[in-house]
Chains A and B, each alone.
Chain A
Amino acid sequence: MLKRSLVSVVDDDESVRESLPDLLKEFGFAVQAFSSAEAFLASGYVDQTRCLILDAAMPGMTGQDLQQELMLRRKKIPIVFITGHRDDTIRPRVLEQGAVACLFKPFSDTALLDALNDALRMN
């Protein structure tokens, strides 16, 4: 089997950082989880990341801030936004900025898998 694609998870919620990596591993991805955007940027995984699963609302740098930052750094990582806020304005905003998908928590495993497949197709 080929080297598994790296999916990075950035979310300040610990339960997400616990549960999501297990599911992603079940899907067959390699996973790195970060508690903040700053931690992700500071890690050495930015360039290896094939897909970024990003929480929209976080203290300090928000999901959208990170999206902007990556654009500025010309890192074209496909982003799947996840958010607990059922805010209808966020989805068009992030999609317009190039995000692959925006999932509202709670989302099903298949919805996530579909979004991941879309993201990996972009690579």
Chain B
Amino acid sequence: MSQEEQHALDLKAIEARLASLVPRTDRLDRERLMFLAGQASVAPSPATQRRPFGRWAWPAATATMTATAAGLLVALLWQGDPPVVERIVEVPVERPVPKDVKTDRERQVEPVKAESLQVPAGPHEPDSPPSRERFLVSWGLGDWRGSAGGRLLDLPLYPRTFEEILVRGLPSPEYASPAGPPGKTPAAVSYRELRADLLGGPPPEAPAPSWLRSNLLFHRRTDS
């Protein structure tokens, strides 16, 4: 038997005898270990307690804000003086005008003569046609009466109240006559015409109330 084989046999022998020794386990409390293992098995693990992004959310936000602040600081430090922009501004200057020459505006605005400010006699009514005429005369528009010497009431009257709208109607493009000439304002459709168009017959004659009757009389008087 060679020396190496003898050495290997000796190692096998000491290995077998050492393996026959049993390590001590008397201080390992088995019952306590099982109790703690049961507690640990029902307790939530740190991996489950962790929120999905809780671990990286705050570090990522902090890193992003730090990088942004650093970038802004570098940009602020490297920013030079603002560039000079040269602009040519043209300022119009009025030519001096001699004092004895009237300007176009002075020529257009003539002083109001005293005759045109005469107020026609009559009872004062706030909304009556004479008061409107007097108002226009006081503003120097007394000559603006039309070529036929007509009255001021020949001007188109615009409805001011709901009743007038019902009676006179509004100029509406929806109810304009299609046969009308282009470029001309469409004719107004009155309430009566609209009702007759929708219901297919003439409106029933009903006695109008006193306030509407007076208004109608006013308009008849003005239309005549």
- Whether A associates with B in a native complex is no
Q: Residues of B with Cβ closer than 8 Å to A?
A: none
Q: Residues of A with Cβ closer than 8 Å to B?
A: none
